[in-house]
Amino acid sequence: MNDAPPAGTIDLRAEYERSGIREMLDELDRELVGLVPVKRRVRETAALLLVDRARHALGLVNETPTLHMSFTGNPGTGKTTVARKMAGLLHRLGYVRKGHLVSVTRDDLVGQYIGHTAPRTKEVLKRAMGGVLFIDEAYYLHRPDNERDYGQEAIEILLQVMENNRDDLVVILAGYADRMERFFQSNPGFRSRIAHHIAFPDYTEEELNRIAVLALQKLGYRLSPAAEDVMERYIALRRNQPHFANARSVRNALDRARLRQADRLFTRSAGPVNAAALSTIEAEDLAASRVFEGGLGIGPASPAVSRHSEELSP
C-alpha cells in the first residue's frame, strides 16, 4: 500500500473497508425489510467499535469495551437474525474469535434437580466461548414467585462469566420489552453489564407485505394479482388478532397457503400443469384462512379450543 497513513494516525475509512463491515451492513440492509431504528443502532455500534479499536491501536484505551447487549421486541421482529449478523460483525471487528451464535433458552441453562444447573450452564458457556451467546426470553431465568428456583443459579454463573470473560464471549439477552424491563429491575447486575440496548419495532403492514413477497421469491413462488390483494387484507386482519408474531406469522401463513395450493393443484387440475401454475399462489389459497372468518383463538365468536393451535391450524 503506497497510501499508508502517517505514523500515529489511523485511516478509519480504510479500516472500515478492510474489516468487511461494510459488506456486513449492506447485507443487513438488503436482507432485512424495515427495522430502520435497529439498523441505525447496529451501524452506530459498528462505528463505535471501529473507533474503539482505532483508539486501542493508538494506545488510548486498554480496556475491552463491554459488548453485552439486550434485544427487546415482539416475536418475529428479527432478533435472532440480527443477533447472527451481530456475531459476524463482532467477529470481523475482532471482538470475538470465532463469531458463531449459540442460541439458548431457559431449558438449556437451568437444570431440573439441585446441582444440575451449574454444569448445564457451564456446558453452554463453554460452547459459546469465542462467539455470541443468545439467550431468548431471558426473563424466564428469573422466577420471582419461587425464590428457590434454579434459574437464580444460572443467572449468577452468567453474570460472573459476563464480567470475567468479556474477551471471550458476548451475551445477547432477548425478549419482550416490558418483561425484559422487569427482569432488569429485579436483576440490576444484568443492567449494569449490558452496554447496548436495541429495541425492535413491530413491522408495518407495508413491510410485512414486502416480507411476504420476498419470502415467496426465495422459495420460487409468486402471488397472483388477486392474491396480492388478499395478502394485504390478510395482514391487516391478522395484525389485530392475538398471538401475532410479525414476520413469523407471515411466513407460517405462506406455508399454509403453499399447502393449500398444492392440494388445489393435486385434486382439481385436469391434465398437465405448467411451471407458472406450480409457482403461483392464487387468491383462494390465501382466502381459505380462518383469519378472514373473524379470527383465531380469543375473540367474541371463536371457540376457546383453537386458542393455542393458531400456527398449526389450516
Partner 1 sequence: MRITQGCFSFLPDLTDEQISAQLDYCLGRDWALGIEYTYDPHPRNTYWEMWGPPMFDLRDAKGVMIELAACRAAHPEAYIRINAFESARGFETVMMSFIVNRPAAEPRIDMTRTEVDGRSLRYTHTVAA
Please tell me whether residue 118 binds partner 1 under the rule CB under 8 A. no
Please tell me whether residue 179 binds partner 1 under the rule CB under 8 A. no
Angle at which helix 246-268 crosses helix 225-239, to 10 degrees, equals 140
Please tell me whether residue 39 binds partner 1 under the rule CB under 8 A. no
Q: How far apart are CA 292 and CA 281, in angstroms?
A: 17
Residue 129-158 contact track with partner 1, rule CB under 8 A, x = bound:
xxx---------------------------
Q: What value, to the nearest 5°, has the Cα angle with vertex 191 and ends 197 and 95?
A: 60
C-beta closer to partner 1: residue 85 or 91: 91
Q: Which residue has the cell 420460487?
A: 220
Of 43, 56, 84, 122, the residue at the interface with partner 1 (CB under 8 A) is 122
Please tell me whether residue 168 binds partner 1 under the rule CB under 8 A. yes
Please tell me whether residue 84 binds partner 1 under the rule CB under 8 A. no
- The DSSP letter of residue 313 is -
Q: How far apart are CA 296 and CA 22, in angstroms?
A: 43
C-beta closer to partner 1: residue 89 or 286: 89
CA atoms within 13 A on the CB side of 188: 0
Of 43, 56, 84, 100, the residue at the interface with partner 1 (CB under 8 A) is 100
Please tell me whether residue 126 binds partner 1 under the rule CB under 8 A. yes
From the list 162, 25, 172, the residue with the least C-alpha distance to 88 is 25
Site of interaction with partner 1 (CB under 8 A): 97-98, 100, 122, 125-127, 129-131, 165, 168-169
